[in-house]
Structure 1
Amino acid sequence: MAGEPQRLHIMLFPFMAAGHMIPTLDIAKMFAAQQVKTTIVTTPRNSPFFTKPLETYKNIGPPIDIEIIPFPCHLGGIPEGIENFDQFTSDEMVVKFLKATYMLQESLEQVMEKCKPDCLVADLLLPFATDVAAKFNIPRLVFFGTNNFAQCVIYSIMKYKPYEAVSSDDEEFVIPNLPHEIKLTKFQLPEMMREQGDKQMTIELMEVFGRALAAEQKSYGVIMNSFYELEPEYVDCYNKVSGRKIWNIGPVSLCNRENEAKFQRGIKSSIDEYDCLQWLDSKKPKSVVYICFGSLAEISNSQLREIAMGLEASEQDFIWAIKRKNENEKNDEWLPHEFEKRMEGKGLIIRGWAPQVLILDHEATGAFVTHCGWNSTLEGISSGVPMVTWPAFADQFYNEKLVIQILKTGIAVGAKESSRTVDAKVKHEDINKAITRVMVGQEALELRIKANKLKDLARKAVEVGGSSYCHMRSLIQELSSYNVKPNMLD
């Protein structure tokens, strides 16, 4: 109808990795639920990641469009048909993939020309998005798949370089200018900051991340998958040190209210939804330990055996999600002899992708052994589940500090060194001890009480009138007014 205001149109462009695409789809659902026209841009082999769950979603929510652009494998030196970051393990291929994504700029511009969105929400690792948004005179928002605490830690480490004052890799140093006293070791920093491995690869990785951070500084603002009540001092701290506009709209996973939506998040699960629920339904409340290391960490056979022995010694029921590259590999190559036979009825092993939110939300689940990736950590918080923290790399050691020292809802298993490959550094005795502490006795009860309080705060944040809900509404209002003030972008 003539004279009606044009409907706000948001375009979302996630980095091609499961941990980035999953929350992006949730954010798209949140925008759509507020009657914002929403479009997701992705590549051909990543499109099922969005189209399959949206088949179910279209029956309960407003439509979300998908625009598919070709991935330039032939230009980036990437094997044909490889379009997802999760498929790489070597630094060389990681750098090649990150740089190959830069070649998506022209295709993104063509889609923008066709769809004419009012705002581009693009992942931190897609820095060219800032230039594309500027070309079309619209704001670019950066999606950070992390939290305010981790960003404050990264900012302080990059600015002050406190690790330069220590004489060894395992000596602790204090991170300056944080609301709490947080200590790390050089071992717990990303490998590229420790200048380990191939020097040229380290330089190239630093250049890639430097470009991403420079583009973020020129962007209109940041969307954060967190909520104010979880880390209030660090929301305020990050607002201060970043100088950016930041909207905390999480936990975004809570937009999935039906079991089917929870089940369909991410890659197709390796287990049937009803089989999983039936198994959990047969267990007592808070009696099951859920173990998962996310989509990127590589767990060695020797470490898997230590985990199995630790689980068996703890005498707890468990669900264990294990990602294995070789689907034809026999279980006895990485499990103790007759482990599955002994654990029959007590343990459920899922080889591949597990319906994590569905499992965490079930009343039978009592603890979560996690790699501390931010999606998993926040999903555990939103479900009120205490954690055994086992960080591997990236920001995961920072997230562990948040859980253990500030939120006080977890027990550290004792991981000490940042590496994507998790070798047998943590022994079964320590795994058993950490699981027992988080599941049995007075300490476990106190952890559960704290975790439940955070769960309540998380759910209130996304309800009407909650802090995240208000941030989302504020963001939409600001973007709507931006259309009539095109000179706001600096």
Structure 2
Amino acid sequence: MDLHVFFLPFLAPGHMIPMLDIAALFAGRGVRTTVVTTPTNAAAVPHHPNLHVLLLPPFNSRAAGLPDGVETAAGLRDTQISPAFIAATDEFEPHFLRLLLSHRPDCIVADVHFTWAVDHAATLGIPLLSFYATGFFSIAVAAAISHFKDHESVTGDDVPFTIDFLPHKIYLTRSQIPGHLITPTDLVRRMMAAQPKIYGMVMNTFLELEPEYAASMTQFCKAWSVGPVCRKSPTTKDRDLSQRGEAASKDAIDCLQWLDERETDSVIYICFGSMGRFTTTQLQEIARGLDSAGHPFVWVVKKDIHISAALPSGFKERVRRENRGVIINGWAPQVSILNHRAVGGFVTHCGWNSTTEAVNAGVAMVTWPLHAEQFFNERFLVDVAKIGVPVGVKAWSDKEEERELVGKEKVEEAVRRLMGEDTEAAERRSRARVLGETAKKAVEKGGSSYNELTKLLEEMVEIKTRWGKVGKEENVIGEVNKSQEVN
């Protein structure tokens, strides 16, 4: 296909992973696809003959006042993407502009965080598609909260209020709203200002998952649903143990072998994403809750956590000796685990990538949101898709020491509800399986997401043919002059 598309992913795993998967989809359709990123993050780019890399300068963590060696937001101690981190990524602007002027792509797919890319694309006459690392539902909830401000009318942080003008009746409390929506940050204001200038949005979702919210969004902005974009589901004989730039640990390999010996739908999988952190006290409550629930489990604990100090004494060794569980201290092949026949439930932080991976695998979830838009995603899983069981967290926080403690009793109760044999649990799992089958069909040839991507690429080719690659000549000259000034 005679089309050249730039991809500019944000330096956070939850944003970079799905965008790289979308880039691989473009490449697989014959599009000349170029990922623009830093040298270290380039290692995560999938291998494909149509997929290329252009390098930005190394991320200057020291100049930004961040810890040495930080290359993505996952390296930050706090879960919040700090203003310093955003300022450091803003330093990529002149370098990205030079690459635009040198290569003149026909289209740009840029993470919503890179608001300056929108301005350069508009000046150069290049259609820019914004990537949002979430679903239509959470965007609709955030927009309703920002516009109607229903949370301001309630008397306390824990008082439920209804989100107006949504297809479903959704209740939230003020304590569950992200801080940047209560008090908009500079970045949020920049994103809002950039929105009218974008050509459209690319989303990691599929139309059948949230049809009412996809339809409502397209009334305001062009949007294409091309997901779920989790890579090919590995089978027992075809496992990708180095997916997405990470090396497989011995625990990860052992885990898959251990799952082979478990009964179908018997195992609960627990993982809180690349930025989900907990206090030692909370980790111990999770351990005790899993112990009491009695179901075999696979639990992923962050690499920088010392298991012997953080968990009850001898816990990891005992549960493995008793053949009751595996603890992975670091990276886990999540797609492989979720798609394993033995896994029957998932305890998740409700990050959108984990959500879509579980949906694609047909697995129901215990919802344990922490920060970002995760409380919105919880409401989608529990109230709209009806495939989630809430653990009962009531307050948003990006600092683990400020979060409410979820006791072992609540952990045990939620796991038992999810994995139970009663009618409610069986129906929940049935809905999850149906969604999983629908998700897989969506990305196959003739499916909704496959067709959405076809329409998107055809529209970009039409724009290239009708408008040409470059906008007004005087604007290009002006941008060249700016580029020379920053040298």
Match status 1:63 vs 2:58: no
Q: How does 1:146-157 map to 2 (within 5 A)?
A: 146-157=134-145
Match in the other structure for 1:434: 414
Letter aligned with residue 416 of structure 1: K
Give 1:237 deviation, angstroms: 1.8
Give 1:15 deviation, angstroms: 0.2
Match status 1:467 vs 2:448: yes
Match status 1:16 vs 2:16: no
Match in the other structure for 1:217: 196
Give 1:49 deviation, angstroms: 2.2
Letter aligned with residue 371 of structure 1: H
Deviation by residue 1:297-333 (Cα, 9 ceiling, x = unmatched)? 221111100100010001111000011435xx3x332
Match in the other structure for 1:113: 101
| Mapped contact 1:388–1:435 kept (Cα < 8 A) | yes
Structure-2 change in CA distance of 1:254 and 1:264 (3 Å): closer
Mapped to 2, the partners of 1:272 and 1:42 lie a distance apart of 30
Gaps of 5+ in 1: 1-5, 196-202
How many residue pairs align between the two structures? 463
Deviation by residue 1:162-208 (Cα, 9 ceiling, x = unmatched)? 0000111000111010001101001101123445xxxxxxx6xx111
Mapped to 2, the partners of 1:477 and 1:144 lie a distance apart of 21
Match status 1:265 vs 2:244: yes
RMSD across aligned positions (CA): 2.2
Mapped to 1, the partners of 2:427 and 2:80 lie a distance apart of 45
Match status 1:247 vs 2:234: no
Mapped to 1, the partners of 2:79 and 2:415 lie a distance apart of 33
Mapped to 2, the partners of 1:93 and 1:407 lie a distance apart of 29
Mapped to 2, the partners of 1:323 and 1:86 lie a distance apart of 11
Mapped to 2, the partners of 1:95 and 1:386 lie a distance apart of 35
Match in the other structure for 1:403: 381
Give 1:470 deviation, angstroms: 0.7
Aligned counterpart for 1:317 among listed residues 292, 296, 299:
296
1:368 partner SS: strand
Give 1:389 deviation, angstroms: 0.4
Could you tell me the TM-score, scaled by structure 1's length? 0.90
Mapped to 2, the partners of 1:48 and 1:92 lie a distance apart of 24
Match status 1:417 vs 2:417: no
2:92 partner SS: helix
Q: Out of 225-234 and 134-143, give the one that drifted further.
A: 134-143
Deviation by residue 1:276-317 (Cα, 9 ceiling, x = unmatched)? 321110111101100000011221111100100010001111
Aligned counterpart for 1:232 among listed residues 170, 187, 211:
211
1:342 partner SS: helix
Mapped to 2, the partners of 1:188 and 1:44 lie a distance apart of 37
Q: Out of 111-120 and 457-466, give the one that drifted further.
A: 111-120
Mapped to 2, the partners of 1:191 and 1:425 lie a distance apart of 20
Match in the other structure for 2:481: none
Match in the other structure for 1:200: none
Deviation by residue 1:364-422 (Cα, 9 ceiling, x = unmatched)? 00100000000001100000001000000111000001100111111111011111234
| Mapped contact 2:350–2:369 kept (Cα < 8 A) | yes
Give 1:424 deviation, angstroms: 5.3
Give 1:209 deviation, angstroms: 1.4
Mapped to 2, the partners of 1:20 and 1:466 lie a distance apart of 24
Q: How does 1:299-318 map to 2 (within 5 A)?
A: 299-318=278-297
Structure-2 change in CA distance of 1:272 and 1:291 (3 Å): closer
Mapped to 2, the partners of 1:74 and 1:299 lie a distance apart of 26
1:253 partner SS: coil
Aligned sequence identity (%): 40
Give 1:334 deviation, angstroms: 1.7
Gaps of 5+ in 2: 473-487
Structure-2 change in CA distance of 1:271 and 1:94 (3 Å): farther
Mapped to 2, the partners of 1:149 and 1:474 lie a distance apart of 22
Mapped to 1, the partners of 2:52 and 2:229 lie a distance apart of 19
| Mapped contact 2:347–2:367 kept (Cα < 8 A) | yes
Mapped to 2, the partners of 1:357 and 1:253 lie a distance apart of 7
Match in the other structure for 1:178: 166
Letter aligned with residue 148 of structure 1: F
| Mapped contact 2:299–2:328 kept (Cα < 8 A) | yes
Structure-2 change in CA distance of 1:340 and 1:276 (3 Å): closer
Letter aligned with residue 20 of structure 2: L
Letter aligned with residue 459 of structure 1: K
Letter aligned with residue 361 of structure 1: N
Q: How does 1:283-362 map to 2 (within 5 A)?
A: 283-326=262-305, 329=306, 331-344=307-320, 345-362=323-340
Q: Out of 467-476 and 93-102, give the one that drifted further.
A: 93-102
Deviation by residue 1:14-46 (Cα, 9 ceiling, x = unmatched)? 000111111011101100111111111111222
Aligned counterpart for 2:113 among listed residues 105, 110, 125:
125
Match in the other structure for 1:363: 341
Match in the other structure for 2:459: 478
2:275 partner SS: coil
Match in the other structure for 2:485: none
Letter aligned with residue 410 of structure 2: D
Letter aligned with residue 249 of structure 1: V
Mapped to 2, the partners of 1:445 and 1:311 lie a distance apart of 21
2:93 partner SS: helix
Match in the other structure for 2:427: 446
Match status 1:169 vs 2:157: yes
Mapped to 2, the partners of 1:424 and 1:92 lie a distance apart of 17
| Mapped contact 2:43–2:245 kept (Cα < 8 A) | no
| Mapped contact 1:300–1:424 kept (Cα < 8 A) | no
Structure-2 change in CA distance of 1:454 and 1:336 (3 Å): same
| Mapped contact 1:306–1:424 kept (Cα < 8 A) | no
Match in the other structure for 1:87: 75
Mapped to 2, the partners of 1:191 and 1:375 lie a distance apart of 21
Match in the other structure for 2:480: none
Letter aligned with residue 280 of structure 1: L
Structure 1 stretches of 4+ with a deviation exceeding 6 A read: 487-490
